[in-house]
C-alpha cells in the first residue's frame, strides 16, 4: 500500500496559518496564538489548541475549522487536544497578527491597558466606552477626534 | 460523596448559577454597552462552569457529563453560595452582587492557583484572568453609581444592605475543605483581604458597610437554599426536563 509522506510540522503550521479566526477573519488561528503544538503520533496528527476565553463560543468552530483544513490537505487522522495551562495570553498574538488587526480596524492589545491610537484616523485622543465588546476578546473604545467607535483587543 | 467532587461542584455551581442569573439581563439591560458587558461576564462564567463541572463529572466517574450535572440535578443537590442565587431585582442589586462575589472569587482563585492538583490549579489560573477583568468592571460600576446621583446612591446602598447577610457564607469552612489539605483554600484567611478591598471601594463609592455579622448559610452545603434557586432552575432546566437528551 502506498501511503502519503507525512507533511512536516512547518508545512502544517503554514496550512493552519491560512485558517481564519471565525470571529475576526482578518487574522489566522496561528496569529491568534491558540495553536500550541503540532506533532505526529505515529500516523495520527495531534494538534494542541488552547481556548482564548473559557466560554468563547468560537472554540468549537475553531476545532472544526482545523480538522476541515487538515483533511483538505489529505491528513485523515487528526486528534485535537485541549490545553488550558498555561492560560492563553494576548502576548501570544503574532506581530503580523497585530498589524493585520489594526489594518482591519481593531486596535491591538497593549500592556498599558488601552489602545495607543484610533485604528481609523490615527489620533491618540481615545476614550473607553466599555470594558466589553462584541466578542469576549474585545472592548469598545471611541476616538474623540474622528468620533468613530472602534474595537480594542483586550490585553490579558 | 467524594470530597473533591463536592468541592468542584461548589466551584462549578457558583459559576453556573451566577452565570445564569447574569444572563437573565441579556436583551433587557439599561443600555446596550451594559447588556453586552453582562452577557460577556455570563459567558465567561458558563465557560468556567464547563471546566469545573467537567472535572467533577470526570472524577465522579458515574457516566454523567457537565451538562447532566447542570441540567439534571435538583435544588438540594446544588452547592453554590446563597449570594449568587439571589434574584437580579434591579441593576444596583445585580452589580453589587457581582462586585461582592468578584472580590471573593478573585481572592479564592488566586489561592487555588497554588493548589496541589494540576487540573484544579490550571482551571483556577485560566478563570483568574477572566475574573480579574470582571472585578475591574464591577468595581468601577459600584463606585460610579454609589458616588453618583441621589437615586443611584440610595439604590446602591439598599443593594448592599440587602446582600450583606449573604457575604459571610463565602468565608465558612467545613469538613469538605478540611478533607482536601493542599487544595481547598482556607476561606477564613481570605476575609482580611476582602474587608480591605471592600472598605476602600465603599469609601470611594460613598456607601456604608452594614454593621452586622449575621450570615445566612446553607448554600455551599446544599442544606438550605433560598426559594429563589428552585425558580431559577425551573427556567434553566426546562428544556432538558421536558425533552430529556435533547441536543442541537
Is it the case that residue A3 has pLDDT exceeding 70?
no
In whole numbers, what is the pLDDT of chain B averaged over residues? 97
Q: What is the C-alpha to C-alpha distance for residues A36 and B50, in angstroms, rounded to an integer?
A: 21
Q: Which residues of chain B are within 8 Å of residue A130 when distances are taken between CB atoms?
A: 33-34, 36-37
Cβ–Cβ contact B47 with A under 8 A: yes
Cα–Cα nearest to B41, from B136, B122, B163, B164: B136
- Are B133 and B183 in contact, with CB atoms under 8 Å apart? no
Gyration radius of chain B over CA positions: 17
Position A2 confidence tier, pLDDT thresholds 50, 70, 90:
low
Q: Look at residue A57 in the predicted model and tell me its pLDDT.
A: 85
As to burial, measured by CB atoms within 10 angstroms (0-12 exposed, 13-18 middle, 19+ buried), residue B33 is: middle
Sheet order of strands, A78-82 included: A35-41, A44-49, A78-82
Tens of pLDDT, residues A74-129: 999 999 999 999 999 999 999 999 999 999 999 999 988 899 999 999 999 999 99
Residue with cell 500550541: A36
Instruction: Show the cell assigned to B84.
Output: 449568587
Instruction: Please work out, in degrees rounded to the nearest 5, the angle formed at the alpha carbon of residue A30 by the alpha carbons of A26 and A32.
Output: 60
- pTM for the model stands at 0.94
Question: Which of B19, B41, B43 has the highest number of chain A CBs within 10 A, making it the mutation to test binding with A?
Answer: B43
Q: What is the C-alpha to C-alpha distance for residues B152 and B141, in angstroms, rounded to an integer?
A: 11
Residue with cell 468563547: A56
Tens of pLDDT, residues B3-36: 999 999 999 999 999 999 999 999 999 899 999 9
Cα–Cα nearest to B33, from A140, A144, A114: A140
- State whether B33 and A130 contact (CB < 8 Å): yes
Q: Which residues of chain B are within 8 Å of residue A51 when distances are taken between CB atoms?
A: 47
Q: Which residues of chain A are within 8 Å of residue B98 when distances are taken between CB atoms?
A: none
Within chain A, where are the H helices? Answer: 9-16, 29-32, 58-72, 95-104
Instruction: Show the cell assigned to B50.
Output: 464547563
Given B44, B123, B140, which is nearest A55 (Cβ)?
B44
Given B37, B41, B123, which is nearest A84 (Cβ)?
B123
- Are A79 and A42 in contact, with CB atoms under 8 Å apart? no
Cβ–Cβ contact B34 with A under 8 A: yes
Q: Which residues of chain A are within 8 Å of residue B112 when distances are taken between CB atoms?
A: none
Gyration radius of chain A over CA positions: 18
Instruction: Show the cell assigned to A140.
Output: 469598545
Residue A156, min C-alpha distance to chain B (Å): 7
Say how many CB pairs under 8 Å bridge A and B. 67
- State whether A136 and B44 contact (CB < 8 Å): yes
As to burial, measured by CB atoms within 10 angstroms (0-12 exposed, 13-18 middle, 19+ buried), residue A120 is: middle
Question: Which of A34, A50, A55, A130 has the highest number of chain B CBs within 10 A, making it the mutation to test binding with B?
Answer: A55
ipTM of the complex: 0.89
Tens of pLDDT, residues A11-69: 999 999 999 999 999 999 999 999 999 999 999 999 999 999 998 888 899 999 999 99
- Are A48 and A36 in contact, with CB atoms under 8 Å apart? yes
Instruction: Show the cell assigned to B99.
Output: 462586585
Q: Look at residue B30 in the predicted model and tell me its pLDDT.
A: 87
Amino acid at each position: 500500500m502506498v501511503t502519503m509522506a507525512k507533511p512536516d510540522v512547518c508545512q502544517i503550521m503554514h496550512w493552519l496559518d491560512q485558517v481564519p479566526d471565525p470571529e475576526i477573519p482578518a487574522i489566522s488561528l496561528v496569529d491568534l496564538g491558540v495553536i500550541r503544538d503540532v506533532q505526529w503520533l505515529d500516523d495520527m496528527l495531534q494538534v494542541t489548541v488552547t481556548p482564548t476565553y473559557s466560554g468563547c463560543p468560537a472554540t468549537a468552530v475553531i476545532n472544526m475549522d482545523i480538522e476541515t483544513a487538515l483533511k483538505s490537505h489529505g491528513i485523515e487522522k487528526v486528534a485535537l487536544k485541549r490545553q488550558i495551562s498555561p492560560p492563553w495570553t494576548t502576548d501570544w498574538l503574532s506581530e503580523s497578527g497585530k498589524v493585520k488587526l489594526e489594518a482591519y480596524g481593531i486596535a491591538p492589545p497593549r500592556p498599558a491597558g488601552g489602545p495607543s491610537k484610533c485604528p481609523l484616523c490615527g489620533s491618540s485622543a481615545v476614550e473607553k466606552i466599555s470594558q466589553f465588546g462584541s466578542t469576549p476578546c474585545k472592548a469598545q473604545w471611541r476616538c474623540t477626534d474622528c468620533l468613530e467607535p472602534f474595537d480594542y483587543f483586550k490585553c490579558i | 460523596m467524594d470530597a473533591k467532587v463536592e468541592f468542584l461542584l461548589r466551584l462549578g455551581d457558583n459559576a453556573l448559577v451566577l452565570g445564569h442569573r447574569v444572563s437573565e439581563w441579556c436583551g433587557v439591560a439599561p443600555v446596550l454597552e451594559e447588556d453586552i458587558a453582562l452577557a460577556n461576564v455570563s459567558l465567561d462564567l458558563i465557560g468556567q462552569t464547563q471546566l469545573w463541572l467537567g472535572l467533577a463529572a470526570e472524577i465522579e466517574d458515574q457516566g454523567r457529563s457537565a451538562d447532566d450535572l447542570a441540567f439534571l440535578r435538583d435544588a438540594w443537590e446544588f452547592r453554590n453560595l446563597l449570594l449568587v442565587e439571589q434574584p437580579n431585582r434591579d441593576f444596583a442589586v445585580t452589580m453589587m452582587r457581582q462586585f461582592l462575589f468578584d472580590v471573593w472569587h478573585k481572592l479564592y482563585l488566586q489561592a487555588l492557583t497554588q493548589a496541589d492538583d494540576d487540573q484544579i490549579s490550571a482551571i483556577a489560573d485560566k478563570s483568574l484572568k477572566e475574573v480579574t477583568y470582571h472585578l475591574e468592571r464591577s468595581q468601577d460600576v459600584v463606585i460610579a453609581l454609589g458616588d453618583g446621583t441621589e437615586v443611584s446612591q440610595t439604590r446602591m446602598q439598599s443593594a448592599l444592605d440587602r446582600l450583606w447577610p449573604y457575604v459571610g457564607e463565602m468565608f465558612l469552612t467545613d469538613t469538605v475543605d478540611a478533607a482536601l489539605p493542599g487544595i481547598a483554600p482556607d476561606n477564613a484567611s481570605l476575609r482580611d483581604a476582602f474587608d480591605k478591598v471592600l472598605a476602600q471601594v465603599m469609601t470611594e463609592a460613598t456607601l456604608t458597610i452594614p454593621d452586622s455579622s449575621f450570615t445566612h448559610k446553607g448554600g455551599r452545603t446544599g442544606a438550605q437554599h433560598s426559594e429563589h434557586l428552585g425558580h431559577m432552575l425551573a427556567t434553566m432546566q426546562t428544556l432538558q426536563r421536558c425533552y430529556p437528551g435533547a441536543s442541537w
